[in-house]
Structure 1
Amino acid sequence: MTDQELFYLLALLKVDGVGDIMAKKLLTHFGSAEEIFKAKKNQISSIDGVGTVLLKNLNDKSIFEKAAKELEFIKSDSVNVSFFQDESYPERLKHCIDSPVLIFTSGNIDLKNKKIISIVGTRQITSYGTEFCKKLIEDIAPLDPVIVSGFAYGVDIVAHQIAMDNNLQTIGVLAHGLNQIYPKTHKKYMAGMEKNGGFITEFWSSSNPDKEKFVRRNRIVAGMTEATIVIESADKGGSLITANMANEYNRDVFAVPGRVTDRYSQGCNNLIKTQKANVLTDAADLIYMLNWDIENKTKTIQKQLFIDLEIDEQKVYDFLLKNGKELLDIIALRCDFPIYKMSGVLLNMELKGVIRPLPGKLFEAI
């Protein structure tokens, strides 16, 4: 994109009344932002949704001053800019009707051919949430996923940290411009994230982290990923908004269940109860639901996931992994177990999430 094209795009986005949906509609009709400003009033007014107020706002000369100032910041700070039709723009986000026309990025972000998930939750993360997040990311690390979150306190920063500890690309989606960081105490993580991953925002350098911007930020978190995972949440919170957005975008949503008496499990339990999220008890759930269990990498992950199996359980699991789905009687025969014992072993394995029952008394390894 040339500086001139970017200048007119910035100016268009600064027009009062032109949001992402209207901007895309105008750009599709006229071909470029510059042509929109050159168009006659009757040409623009013929577009559905354009009224007299918007026509007047398009003639506001101050938008060009603001665009020039932002372009100067972009050039001086070497900010990467992606247009919603560019190859560098997150592929899944392109398909969201209200996705940003422009996003600004810093760091070393590479999303090509990547498994991309978002991990969100309460700012008051508990030891339970921290341990679950740690185990989850460690177990899926061999598949080299990209971990996206909002760089906030609690679950967000824990997910970013654990991703960095496992040498995974991690991306923070910001609710403000790239010329600042919020919360300021997280500034110490910036270099590590930008080395392998980085930051994404739709907001200009003049934007402060106001409350309403966090909600807008959440749609990027939900839209650019194939699945959103809620680790912990109270019955209300930003992570639940992100989960709802993910559902609206037809993305997979997962929630970690907790005790009904735990405040920061209420939101997750409600998502599961209302069928707005899949139950997530370990990495195997995620791998299976997202169809990630492919090639030899899965076997490596499965061995890591299930090292806590009892000797009898491990014997059965190895048999099913090698032979595929099999009848209960055949499993007992081949593993040299009496039928009465076999039923108990299989039940324990099912509760641990390492096998699943199939119609006809068949079982298979997950």
Structure 2
Amino acid sequence: MSLFHQIALSCLPGIGSVLARNLLSFFGNEEEVFNAKRKHLSKVPGIGPKTRELIINHKVFKFAEVELEFIEKYKIKPYFLTDLDYPKRLKNCADAPILLYFKGNADLNSNKIISVVGTRNATDYGKDICKNLMADLKVHNPLIVSGLAYGIDFAAHKEAHKLGIPSIGVLGHGLDRIYPAQHRAMAEKMLECGGLLTEFMSGTIPDRENFPKRNRIIAGLCDVTIVVEASIKGGALITAELANSYNRDVFAFPGRLNDEFSLGCNHLIKTNRANLITKSADIEYIMGWSSEVGKVQKPQLSLPINLTDDEKIISNVLTNHGSLAFDDLSYLTSFQQSKLVHILLGMEIQGVLISLPGKVYRLV
């Protein structure tokens, strides 16, 4: 497919992630969107007369040319929604960006991906939590994701780098700049062990409205979102809410009742929007990770011969991969999530597989 047209589609005015998906689904590929006639555009769900005219009379090709040159010059890796290596966890989110720009060496489909978020006004308490958390999680070889902002974000990236844990900084602007500028040195280190990721083209400045959009990538890219310190309002709680909406696990460290930057964490726990944790072992237990470290795989028992074709697909995938999270199963089997829930329930009732904490499944 044409990267030029993929970039052009991503910057069409009035077209967000959801409408872009509708256009791709209707026309088959991004190039055909730009060849479409008015009468055909009118049939696409969500495309009204105003949006249709914006597509017909677009002037985005000149922007696509500039961005294509930037990508080639600075060796940026683009991930389009239909690419096989597009982050599979994020692809399952209905509002996932249709195009991502990445610079670095991390695997965005790593086995365990954890986002760490929190206040920009991190206290010593929050920084110590980040330090201890990274040290304890290192055994799982995770990929850490945060926003390269002041406070908890920076502390998470810093501690991960010290331990050789790859981390991804998700940006609210283009890859031609770093914001805040004081974090440039850390960003450069992350390119050697991790990377920088954004949905925004070069030239995009860090406007305020970009950061809530950035937060949905942080939430959708990961298996787990951990809130270390947070006030009652702010980006960390937005990220936690998004993670919940994506059916991801959310954890929060509690704090003292009257501490401003613990109010958000305590609220998440109180309203059952996050699991209370005090140490990494809590995460390992809930996610079913503790039994995986140093575990010797037992030979699989022979499966019942009366499995349906769909059940056989799932059993074969689990045989090859061991335990898998729900999102990974959905990706590897290509089953819609609603269908997969039904099949997994039936297999669990039959005693073919078991459900572990953290929405993880494995064969009996």
Q: TM-score, normalised by structure 2?
A: 0.79
TM-superposition CA deviations, 1:91-137 (whole Å, max 9, x none)? 10000000000000001121344200100000111111111111111
Residue in structure 2 matching 1:169, options 147, 160, 166? 166
Matched, 1:215 2:184: no
Question: Could you tell me which residue of structure 2 aligns to residue 78 of structure 1?
Answer: 75
In 2: Cα distance, 1:48 partner to 1:242 partner = 28
1:230 aligns with 227
2: CA distance between counterparts of 1:19 and 1:33?
14
Q: Deviations over 1:158-208 (max 9, x none)?
A: 000101111111000000000000000000112211111101100000210
Q: Cα distance, 1:61 vs. partner?
A: 4.4
Q: Which amino acid aligns with 1:99?
A: A
TM-superposed CA distance for 1:21, in Å, is: 0.5
CA distance in structure 2 between the partners assigned to 1:295 and 1:249 by the alignment = 25
Match of 2:40 among 38, 43, 49: 43
Who wins on radius of gyration, i.e. which is larger? 1
Q: Percent identity?
A: 46
Q: Which runs of 5+ in 1 are unaligned?
A: 300-366
Q: Name 1:321's counterpart in structure 2.
A: none
Could you tell me which amino acid in structure 1 is paired with residue 82 of structure 2? Q
Note if contact 1:8-1:33 (Cα within 8 Å) is conserved in structure 2. Answer: yes
Q: Is 1:185 aligned to 2:182, yes or no? A: yes
2:303 matched residue in structure 1: none
Q: How does 1:1-366 map to 2 (within 5 A)?
A: 1=1, 5-297=2-294
Aligned-residue offset at 1:43: 1.2
Q: CA deviation at 1:14?
A: 2.0
Contact persistence 1:118–1:229 (CA under 8 A): yes
> Is 1:117–1:227's contact at 8 Å kept on the other side of the alignment?
yes
Could you say which residue in structure 1 is the equivalent of 2:307? none
- Whichever residue aligns with residue 66 of structure 1, its letter is F
Q: What count of residue pairs does the alignment treat as equivalent?
A: 296
Whether the 8 Å CA contact 2:168–2:197 is kept in 1: the answer is yes
Amino acid at match of 1:49: G
Structure 2: where are the runs of 5+ without partners? 297-364
Taking structure 1 as reference, are residues 297 and 125 closer, same or farther at Cα in structure 2, changes over 3 Å only?
farther
Residue 60 of structure 2 aligns to a residue in which SS?
helix
RMSD of Structure 2 on Structure 1 (CA):
1.4
Q: Give, in whole Å, the separation in 2 of the partners of 1:126 and 1:35.
A: 52
SS at match of 1:187: helix
Distance across 2 between alignment mates of 1:171 and 1:13: 22
Equivalent residue, structure 2, for 1:306:
none
1:336 matched residue in structure 2: none
Query: Match of 1:324?
Result: none
Measured in 2, the distance between the counterparts of 1:33 and 1:243 equals 32
d(CA) in 2 for partners of 1:112, 1:49: 31
Further displaced range: 50-59 or 226-235:
50-59
Alpha-carbon shift at residue 74 of structure 1 (Å): 1.3
Q: Look up the SS of the partner of 1:211 in the other structure.
A: coil
Asked if 2 retains the 8 angstrom alpha-carbon contact of 1:103 and 1:201, the reply is yes
